[in-house]
Structure 1
Amino acid sequence: MGSLGKAELEAMIDEATVDAYGEAEELTGLFTVIEENLAVPFSTMVLGVEVTVRGVDLSRDGRIVALCSRGPVRQEIGILDLPMPTPAPDGAEWIEAYRYWSG
């Protein structure tokens, strides 16, 4: 990740937040495009352990989180803290846009 330029990221953010009024609605817009475009499930490594990302959600504290599992264990991991596999799944560029938006 990190392959998109500032202008591309800003255009993506504008696309995701076009009808948003305020930060909460911008977050919802970004969550929506990530949810619609991120190809799940995919596998990645978290703390040296392979996990499966099954989807994304909005947490109660206002973060976009990845819904991860390993066997019967389930855990939410902040999408900004989630290491992306190489190659990244389709739609991962929206996570990059969210990262840029969140500063």
Structure 2
Amino acid sequence: MGTLDRVELDAMIDEATVDAYGEDEERIGLFTMLEEYLDVPFTAVVLGVEVTVRGVDLTPDGTIVARCSRGRARQAIGILELPLPSPAPEGAEWIEAYRHWAG
């Protein structure tokens, strides 16, 4: 992660939000790209515990979250707070673009 420069991130954001009117629609555009391009499942470490990221969701209050599981436990973790593994999964550049947008 962190391999894309500001110009590349801005271009990705422009692509995701081209038809968006306002911040809520921009967030939905970025969520759509995450949903389409992020290669799930993948493993991440959250608070020292290995979890499986199964997908992304948009909560009713407009937060993009990663759907995580470990055994039978399930938890949504804000995508802005999700620690990414190294190497990052395919499509993780969209998380980077969202983080840049949320700035």
Bucket of the pairwise TM-score, normalised by the shorter protein: over 0.9
Q: What does residue range 1-103 of structure 1 map to in structure 2 within 5 Å?
A: 1-103=1-103
Question: Partners in 2 of 1:58 and 1:86 — Cα distance?
Answer: 25
Identity of aligned residues (%): 73
2:47 and 2:60 map into 1 onto residues whose CA distance is 24
Secondary structure at the aligned position of 2:76 is classed as strand
Runs of 4+ in 1 over 3 A off after TM superposition: none
Letter in 2 for 1:90: E
Structure 1, unmatched stretches of 5+, are none
Q: Distance in 1 between matches of 2:25 and 2:36?
A: 16
Instruction: Give the CA RMSD over aligned residues.
Output: 0.6
Aligned residues: 103
2:86 is paired with a residue whose SS is: coil
- Whole-Å Cα distance in 1 between the matches of residues 81 and 60 of structure 2? 17
* Residues in 1 aligned to 2:8 and 2:75: alpha-carbon distance in whole angstroms: 32
Post-superposition shift, 1:59?
1.3
Gaps of 5+ in 2: none
- Give the letter for the 2:81 counterpart: D
In 2, the alpha carbon distance for the partners of 1:80 and 1:86 equals: 17
Q: Distance in 2 between matches of 1:85 and 1:72?
A: 22
TM-score, normalised on structure 2?
Answer: 0.98
